[in-house]
Amino acid sequence: MNRYPAWKNILVVMVVVFGTLLALPNIYGEDPALQVVLDTREAMDERELNVARGFLDEASVEYVAAYIENGRVVVRFADRDLQIQASSVLAKQLGETYVVALTMEPRMPDWIRALGLQPMSLGLDLRGGVYFLYEVDLEGAIAQTLERFRADFRALLRDAKIPYRSVEVSGGSVRLTLRNPDDLNRVNVLLRNYDAQLALSDSRIGGETVIRVSMNTNLVKQRQDFAIQQNITTLRNRVNELGVAEPLVQRQGLSRIVVQLPGVQDPAQAKVVLGATATVDFRLVDQDSNAYEAQRKGRAPLGSKLYYERDGTPVLLKRDVIVTGDQLTDATSGYSEGQPVVFVKLNAKGARRMLETTRNNLKKPMAVVFIEQVCDEFGTGDSGCLKSSTREEVISVATIQGVFSSSFQISGLTPIESRDLALLLRAGSLAAPIFIVEERTIGPSLGQDNIDQGFQAVSIGFLAVVVFMLIYYRLFGMVANLALLTNLVLVVALLSLLQAVLTLPGIAGIVLTVGMAVDANVLIFERIREELRNGNSPQASIAAGYDKAFSSIIDANVTTLIAAVVLFTFGTGAIRGFAVTLSLGILNSMFTAIVGTRAVVNLVYGNRQRLESLSI
């Protein structure tokens, strides 16, 4: 009656053994470490490992271990001071082709590492690091799109040899003023071929034909979604350039992006690099007009735009852009003739345009314009940026001495500016401005305190339940406690296997699981007691207790599981962490309380022919 078939007993043993094995990496702790990877993210081999070891040995920096893992060089240290010292040494010696990231690596035996096992991933509140919540300026994204339309429409009209008076952005649309009304149909065809979703309208104003081009609702939404996705991609690239291990960059809500950088304790550089909207474009200098005269009048001649150099000197540049920042494929900082410069490479389209421009404009000046989006007025609370503006300044004016196309250099920068600009150009420009809504820095000591307090809470809750079950249910209580311990081990095992991030709310979910996990056993044990009071035999009471309590256990756990799934689906990061551990705890408790405890009870009582009483 109370005997499991062999396969069920084997199943229980296998689950416990594999669960214990998966949870084992979590007991060894972590060491401060460095991850070294190529900036191309290609796999590294023993040669790079030996090079890194050689640099550390040469600088007399002691390390605990160095090895290749998942195509990256990992070096572990005894303390954070050695980690920081080694980071400076390797970053200086290896150069910009390698990314050196501060991280924490598990302190595991080699045989566990060889099995590919990993401990749980810890959230920012447990590991320490920097948290940013960014607001994406969706209106700025639309404004940038209209500016792109303006430049493209001018090129379309010029290539089609259609005369026009002006192409300007005005009131959320692009306004084209034609010289010849007979060209209206041709222009409409060009614009339709450019993008069929554009909304076109024409009118006669003062004897001139004016076409207004605007975006419909669907196109606006597409552009906003693209801006957010492009910003997420760019931020991920910038995080990789910063050298941060295991970062998190994801969308939150309609227009916000969350960035979590574990292990980063100084948010200053991260804030500057991540939030910067800096890019560059290249324009020819207008030599036919006087910049000081344009400054005095407050307006530039037709086809030109007034800019200022860093020392305040006015300079007139052609409105037509030669190359924009998004046509750059690579950028590295360095020195040329003793001055800091940025060496850049262009894509095919940009290279053709630059080749054509330099070939036709030898001995003429070309300027590099530095463009940055800044927030001028912040709102209160979570309202983000209320007013933003674009700052543009000329950082370099140089005479074109020869013909070039895909490779050249930008000068006129300080060493720090050249390094940061190279990083930004290499990682890509933001599709829309972003502004910090919330910022938090969590130190490693605070994260460790959270871990210690969470572990203490779990321990107190576990011991309280253990003592109660032992006193109230005796031997059966001991079985329930064994199931509870197995439940905790399996939760940790699943978190490690799935690499789900454990956060402080997640620890709260584990504490709640400890209290809820014995509910099923309480129902079973009370049912067994009731059967014994009704005069049933001990063996029959055991069988009836498990069978009759089954439906109640399933109902109670399934309803809680549904609530956890809803929390995970609609909740944010912290709530999701709670829901994950609660869900795993519920699933494990149903297995351990129903299958696991009965396997142990069957082992203790199942083979007894004459059983007079139960220790319950």
Query: 174-198: per-residue pLDDT in tens?
Result: 888 888 888 888 888 888 888 888 8
Sketch the domain layout of the chain as residue ranges.
Answer: 6-24+443-605, 29-107, 138-219, 276-441
Q: Which CATH fold would you assign to the domain 138-219?
A: Gyrase A; domain 2 (3.30.1360)
Q: Which CATH number fits domain 276-441: 3.30.2130.30, 3.30.70.100, 3.30.1360.200, 3.40.47.10?
A: 3.30.1360.200
Question: Cα torsion for 322, 328, 333, 338, to the nearest 10°?
Answer: -30
Which residues, in sequence order, are CB contacts of 10 under 8 Å at separation 6+?
Answer: none
- 368 band by pLDDT with thresholds 50, 70 and 90: confident
Q: Residue 385: is its pLDDT beyond 60?
A: no
For range 214-239, the mean pLDDT: 82
Residue where the block lists tokens 């192409």: 167
Nearest-angstrom CA–CA distance, 293 and 574: 59
- Per-residue pLDDT at 255: 85
Q: Quote the percentage of the chain above a pLDDT of 90.
A: 3
- Per-residue pLDDT at 349: 80
Assess contact for 331 and 343: CB atoms under 8 A: yes
Q: Which CATH fold would you assign to the domain 29-107?
A: Alpha-Beta Plaits (3.30.70)
- Per-residue pLDDT at 316: 92
Q: Which stretch of DSSP H or E encloses residue 226?
A: helix 217-242
Give 176: exposed, middle or buried? Use CB within 10 Å, 0-12, 13-18, 19+.
buried
Assess contact for 48 and 36: CB atoms under 8 A: yes
- 374 band by pLDDT with thresholds 50, 70 and 90: low
Which residues, in sequence order, are CB contacts of 556 under 8 Å at separation 6+?
Answer: 519, 520
Nearest-angstrom CA–CA distance, 219 and 146: 12
Neighbours of 148 (CB within 10 A): 13
* Local structure of 503: helix, strand or coil: coil
- Per-residue pLDDT at 479: 87
Closest CA to 316 of 287, 357, 279, 354: 287
pLDDT in tens, 337-352: 788 888 888 888 888 8
Give DSSP secondary structure letters for 70-118: TTEEEEE-SSHHHHHHHHHHHHHHH-TTEEEEEEEEE---HHHHHTT--
Q: Residue 595: is its pLDDT beyond 80?
A: yes
Q: Residue 134: is its pLDDT beyond 60?
A: yes
Give DSSP secondary structure letters for 301-314: PTTEEEEEBTTS-E
pLDDT in tens, 26-38: 888 888 888 888 7
H and E: helices and strands count for the chain: 18, 23
- 381 band by pLDDT with thresholds 50, 70 and 90: very low
Neighbours of 351 (CB within 10 A): 18
- Per-residue pLDDT at 21: 92
Q: Which residue has the higher pLDDT, 230 or 377?
A: 230
pLDDT in tens, 558-580: 888 898 888 888 876 678 888 88
pTM of the model: 0.61
Q: Residue 263: is its pLDDT beyond 70?
A: no
| Terminal Cα distance for the chain, rounded | 19
Nearest-angstrom CA–CA distance, 122 and 25: 13
DSSP state of 28: S
- Per-residue pLDDT at 71: 81
- Per-residue pLDDT at 573: 64
3-state secondary structure 345-382: EECHHHHHHHHHHHHHCCCCEEEEEEEEEEEEEECCCC
- 455 band by pLDDT with thresholds 50, 70 and 90: confident
- Per-residue pLDDT at 197: 82
- Per-residue pLDDT at 382: 47
Helix ranges (H only) for 243-308 are 267-275, 291-297
Give DSSP secondary structure letters for 469-493: HHHHHHHHHHHHHHHHHHHHHHHHH
- Per-residue pLDDT at 268: 62
Closest CA to 321 of 155, 144, 143, 145: 155
For range 11-27, the mean pLDDT: 90
Assess contact for 449 and 503: CB atoms under 8 A: no
Q: Residue 593: is its pLDDT beyond 60?
A: yes
- Per-residue pLDDT at 525: 85
pLDDT in tens, 518-567: 888 888 888 888 888 888 888 888 888 888 888 888 888 888 889 888 88
- 247 band by pLDDT with thresholds 50, 70 and 90: confident
Neighbours of 411 (CB within 10 A): 15
pLDDT winner (highest mean) among 400-409, 454-463, 484-493 = 484-493
For range 108-122, the mean pLDDT: 84
**Would the CATH topology of 138-219 be identical to that of 276-441?**
yes
Nearest-angstrom CA–CA distance, 423 and 415: 13
Q: Which residue has the higher pLDDT, 470 or 429?
A: 470
CATH superfamily label, 6-24+443-605: Multidrug efflux transporter AcrB transmembrane domain (1.20.1640.10)
- Per-residue pLDDT at 18: 92
Nearest-angstrom CA–CA distance, 345 and 422: 11
For range 79-107, the mean pLDDT: 82
DSSP state of 179: S
Q: Quote the percentage of the chain above a pLDDT of 70.
A: 89
Q: 333-338: list long-range contacts, CB under 8 Å, 24+ apart.
A: 333/96, 333/415, 333/418, 333/419, 333/421, 333/422, 334/418, 336/409, 336/411
564's tokens? 């956890």
Nearest-angstrom CA–CA distance, 222 and 142: 10
Assess contact for 109 and 31: CB atoms under 8 A: no
Closest CA to 261 of 278, 241, 276, 282: 241
- 446 band by pLDDT with thresholds 50, 70 and 90: low
* Local structure of 14: helix, strand or coil: helix
Assess contact for 261 and 129: CB atoms under 8 A: yes
pLDDT winner (highest mean) among 298-302, 491-495, 508-512 = 491-495
Q: How confident is the prediction for the chain on average, in pLDDT?
A: 81
